[in-house]
Amino acid sequence: MRYDFGSDNTAGMQPAAMQALIAANEGYARAYGADEITARAADQIRQRLDADAEIRFVFSGTAANSIALSMLAWPHEAVLAHHAAHVCTDETGAPGFFGQGVGLIGLPGLSGKIEQKALEAALEEPEVGHRQPPAALSLTQSTEYGTVYTEEELRHLIEPVKARGYGVHLDGARLANAAAAGFDLTQIARLGVDVLVFGGAKAGGLCTEAIVMFDKSLARRVDNRLKQAGQTASKGRFLTAPMLGLLESNAWEDGAAHANLMAARLAEGIALRSRFVLAHPVEANAVFVRMPAKAHARLNELGWACYRFDDGSVRFVCSWATEEAVVDEVIEAIVGLS
């Protein structure tokens, strides 16, 4: 393999994250998240969001999303989400598992963004005793197709949901890329999001994601819930140190900005020089290309890892570690496909 564009998860940890992990190994620290490193990491997140919130750190985005959704809906209720959202397609029923039966209602929308009319139609559906009614909305920023919601787009989706007293969850696995694209993090709480998953792994951290509860009532007995779910780290400093390293050094933002820049470079090369077309707008760190199966297979044979996504396009994801020379090489390989 020459390079793995399959996901930003394939890249290693950023140097700032690794250095912070090594530094955290010195001496002793309080266990189970009561350490200074964890407190500092939480404060760094609050500063970026300009909001007071309860914050807990867990081992994966799947756990973070699923536990967050279980806070917003009862087992006999459901969560509205884009039909291609990670919670709908890539979490093996985890929201239902952690939520003891919480359902998911998939909604359509171009390029990963929920269509407002579809959301409104779902909210207007009559409640009957034979199916799970919606109780919350799950949004993804940046989306599964590499697009970025504007503040206005989010407001139009969140307002009708909040008007009904429902909860709102934001999956921010690639929130750093959305921020690098110009999205204002300080608007998340003000828009009415109740619980945010603040991503660290895809930004170049370890495997850590933060559950950010703007609605502090959601934090009632949250430590008991996390312990029961196997998400409480006994040596919590090692879970949070890489996140702290990314945040205190601004590598969280800088790495995402670089990834976005590499994606833009890749998209431009494909659009201007190859016979293939882009399937979605390139606004963050992912590039989706309409490519026949034969051409895709040949590209993989040449050592360029990328995979076919839900809509049939081929996805290329750039990370903090993607180099310009590698982008230029894969562009040449794509141009050479016949």
Share of the chain above pLDDT 90, in %: 99
Q: Which of 248, 268, 299 finishes a domain?
A: 248
Question: Do 220 and 283 belong together in one domain?
Answer: no
Domains in the chain, number = 2
Q: Which residue has the tokens 């431009």?
A: 268
For residue range 116-161, list pLDDT tens digits in order: 999 999 999 999 999 999 999 999 999 999 999 999 999 999 999 9
Question: Do 165 and 277 belong together in one domain?
Answer: no
Question: Do 243 and 263 belong together in one domain?
Answer: no
Question: Do 237 and 263 belong together in one domain?
Answer: no
Question: Do 105 and 208 belong together in one domain?
Answer: yes
Question: Do 327 and 183 belong together in one domain?
Answer: no
Question: Do 278 and 229 belong together in one domain?
Answer: no
pLDDT of residue 2: 82
Give yes or no for residue 338 having a pLDDT over 80.
Answer: no
Question: Do 321 and 286 belong together in one domain?
Answer: yes
For residue range 211-269, list pLDDT tens digits in order: 999 999 999 999 999 999 999 999 999 999 999 999 999 999 999 999 999 999 999 99
Task: List beta partners, residue 199.
Answer: 209
Q: Region of 271 please: left (phi>0), alpha (psi -120 to 50) or beta.
A: alpha
322-330 long-range Cβ contacts below 8 angstroms, 24+ apart:
322/3, 322/11, 322/258, 322/259, 322/262, 323/262, 324/262, 324/265, 326/2, 326/3, 327/262, 327/265, 327/266, 327/269, 328/265, 328/269, 329/2, 329/3, 330/2, 330/3, 330/5, 330/266, 330/304
Question: Do 20 and 117 belong together in one domain?
Answer: yes
Extended strands (E) in 59-133 = 78-82, 103-107
Average pLDDT (194-208) is 97
Instruction: Calculate the CA dihedral of residues 87, 229, 29, 214 and round it to 10 degrees.
Output: 50
Give yes or no for residue 1 having a pLDDT over 80.
Answer: no
Q: Which of 248, 274, 292 finishes a domain?
A: 248
Residue 338's Cβ-count burial label (10 Å; 0-12, 13-18, 19+) is: exposed
For residue range 260-311, list pLDDT tens digits in order: 999 999 999 999 999 999 999 999 999 999 999 999 999 999 999 999 999 9
Share of the chain above pLDDT 70, in %: 100
Say what the pTM is: 0.97
Q: Which of 230, 248, 266 finishes a domain?
A: 248
Question: Do 238 and 255 belong together in one domain?
Answer: no
Average pLDDT of the residues of the chain: 97
Question: Do 205 and 264 belong together in one domain?
Answer: no
pLDDT of residue 81: 98
CATH code of 101's domain: 3.40.640.10
Q: How far apart are CA 36 and CA 54, in angstroms?
A: 16
Range of the domain at 299: 3-10+251-335
- CB-CB contact of 54 with 218 (8 Å): yes
Question: Do 122 and 199 belong together in one domain?
Answer: yes
CATH code of 284's domain: 3.90.1150.10
Average pLDDT (20-46) is 97
